Amino acid sequence: MVALGLVGTLGIFAGTLTLVLVKPRGWNEACWPVLGATAMILLDLVTPEQAFAMVWASRSALLFLLALLLLSALLEVSGFFEWAALHAGHRACGDGRRLFRNVFGLGALVTTVLSLDTTAVMLTPIVLAFVKRLRLPARPYVIASAFVANIASLALPMSNLTNLLFADAFRIPFERFAVRMMAPQLVAVGVTYFLLRWRFSAELHCFESKDLAAPSSAIPDRRYFRFAVAVLALVVVGYFVASAAHVEPYVVAFGGVAALAVVGVRRRRVTARTLREISWGLFPLVIGLFVVVRGVENLGIVTTAASWVARAPDHSVVRALLTSATTGAASNLMNNLPAALVARSVLQEAGADRASMFGALLGLDIGATILPTGSLATLLVLDVARKKGERVAAVEMTKIALWLTPIVLFLAVAAFAVVDSWADP
């Protein structure tokens, strides 16, 4: 009976992840985690109470995710992303290297403030559209978008769902999270940018800026655009103020959403179509994965792994390196979202220290870039590129990531160790 449970649990887990990542044509990827979760419950591998508890424990992260999706959709309506991308193009003044720098920097900023999925789904297609118009090779920009979407997601909790899950589970305030992760973020983004620019130096050609539309052409309603930018700035500041006042950050995000929605409806910029374009399927996908991962945890894997973590060398740098390498490897084997769920449970049971916790996050965010399947954001970027007629082979990204990712991850961990040694406990 125990053997059947083991085989059934691992079979459902492996099958669910494979189908999510392969995405059979005609099927929404959210179907598979829902079916996997249903199978886990029907086969009594996960009890309904455990499934509910798993989701309830992550309710703040899920609410924040919803708020970010709505906020990004409303900013898209204002023309913000296209306006920013066109500004990046014009400010390059026809220099291919400057264009690559500007696009990379814009991707890093959008990822930090609005999440890696926003960069993948909303910014990437705009960048590829004007790169195609300029008759430039798209490959450097596709690969740069995939890397920056993941590697620039370190600094703040809302930058990555894995960050939200950890910040919520370990009660890490916004300002404390930012203090620990800003230096690794700057190091990781800087090193990635220079390494990719060196790698693609022969493909960063000059271009004619006059072929680009004016940034103002992307703004359908100037008043709503200015209001949207102001709300975005206030929301980002509000995250830190709310944290100091012990208010959940998603409350601030929903406040921004409400303001943009009300003004947008009044100015006839926001319609029912705005809601239809949101990736609602992300929620059943995430919730289904929560339940499937709980089935794996019921096998006792968490307890075993927690004992290993507890026996790790009593040195913060070593612990950070070990956990970052482990979660990075796990992310590439099973994708970083289920890896984050397992790692969160392991670290909670082990009573892990701060270095282990933040090291694990560095591995989940940066280490997940070696294989395209390591992060859903990478898969989204490649899918967007394919729909735009720009195919980048997964093996090509992996060849670059095999040497780039370890360098970036090691230097990011080193930066964290330096900051952690003098930051407040």
Q: Domain ranges for the chain, please list them.
A: 2-422
Backbone angles phi, psi at 214, to 5 degrees: -70, 140
Residues of the chain with pLDDT under 50: 1
- Cβ atoms of 100 and 226 within 8 Å: the answer is no
Residue with tokens 């994965």: 289
Q: Which of 194, 394, 417 is nearest to 324 (CA)?
A: 417
The pLDDT assigned to 3 comes to 63
- Note the Cα 158 to chain centre separation in Å: 9
The pLDDT assigned to 296 comes to 84
Number of Cβ within 10 Å of residue 75's Cβ equals 24
The pLDDT assigned to 424 comes to 57
The pLDDT assigned to 353 comes to 86
> pTM for the complete prediction?
0.88
- Note the Cα 71 to chain centre separation in Å: 16
Angle (nearest 5°) at CA 329 between 323 and 331: 100
The pLDDT assigned to 2 comes to 54
The pLDDT assigned to 187 comes to 97
**DSSP conformation letters of 80-125:** HHHHHHHHHHHTTTT-HHHHHHHHHHHHHHHHHHH-HHHIIIIIHH
Residues 255-285 pLDDT 10s:
999 999 999 999 888 888 888 878 788 788 8
b/e map 356-379, b = 16+ CB within 10 Å = bbbbbbbbbbbbbbbbbbbbbbbb
Residues 199-229 pLDDT 10s:
999 999 888 878 788 888 889 999 999 999 9
